[in-house]
Structures are given as C-alpha cells and as structure tokens.
Amino acid sequence: MVVWMSAIFIHSVSLCFRFICLYPIYINSKKTLAEGRRVPTEKAVENPSCAEIQSVLTAAGMNVYVEDKMHPKEWNRDVQFRGRVRVQLKQEDGVFCQDKFSSRKDLMFYVAEMIPKLKTRTQKSGGADSSSQQGEGGKKSKKKKK
C-alpha cells in the first residue's frame, strides 16, 4: 500500500515539473520588479487577470489550468487579483509542447503581447475617452472691505 501511494506521489511530482506557474503579477505593468514583475514595463500589461492569461494560452494550443492561489507578494486579496495559471511547457519525454515557447520568458512575453489584443480589452477602452467634463464654474470668494 505504501509503495502504491509513493508511486502516485512521484507521478504527481513529475507532472509538476512539466507545468510551470504563471502569476498575473509577473506581467503586470503596475508592479515593480521588487513587487514581483518579471518582464520589462514596456512589454507588460496593466492589471492582467488569470482568465485573460488562460484564454490567450488556450487559444495558442497550450495545456492550461487555473488554481485558486495567490502570489506571496500580492497584498490585495481581491478576487480580481487571485489565481495562478499552470501551463504545461514540456511533454513527458522532455520535449517542448510548442517550439515557439522554449522558456518561461518566451511564454510571458507572448501572453503580455496578446492580452491587449483580446476582445474584452479592446471593447473596454473604446468608449472611455468620449466622456469629458466641462470646466466647473468656480465661486469667487468675496472679501470684506475695511
């Protein structure tokens, strides 16, 4: 019985080595390097979510699943910032699943490049600039003359 359980443990551990972790904080342009960002700010995305990362990688043909975990440096416990994406980078024999993703950095750069092109991102930013405020009528304070 113990041997069987250790075989399951070894099998699940070997799966973990082929699936890498990708937190949204790694590609968030609002975070600093000290706060956990791993890509340059010019390539990073503003507040990415796990659902966006999952949809981009699923469309690219990667094996992806989302876990309800948080990055240790993420101080905001909101549901929007929660989540960890696990991506299968290598197959059982050690060969990469896709040739264009040969490292974690390649995967992060691809995700950061594709998230702004998502329909949810392009539809949100379209109507935001149309509403502008006109100048407020400021009250002039009347001073008493002596």
The CATH number assigned to the domain holding 56 equals: 3.30.56.30
What torsion, rounded to 10 degrees, do the Cα atoms 115, 80, 77, 53 define?
-30
Per residue in 8-20, pLDDT (tens digit) is 444 455 555 678 9
Residue 55 lies in a domain: yes
Residue 8 lies in a domain: no
pLDDT of residue 6: 38
Residue 112 lies in a domain: yes
Residue 127 lies in a domain: no
Number of domains the chain is built from:
1
Residue 65 lies in a domain: yes
pLDDT beyond 80 at 88? yes
| Contacts for 21 with CB less than 8 Å, ≥ 6 apart | 84, 85, 86
Residue 2 lies in a domain: no
User: Residue 88 is part of which domain span?
Assistant: 20-121
pLDDT beyond 70 at 135? no
pLDDT beyond 90 at 45? yes
Most confident of 13-17, 110-114, 138-142: 110-114
The C-alpha atoms of residue 81 and residue 47 are separated, in whole angstroms, by 8
Two tokens at 118?
């998502």
Average pLDDT value for residue range 123-137: 56
Residue 128 lies in a domain: no
Residue 139 lies in a domain: no
pTM (predicted TM-score): 0.71
pLDDT of residue 122: 86
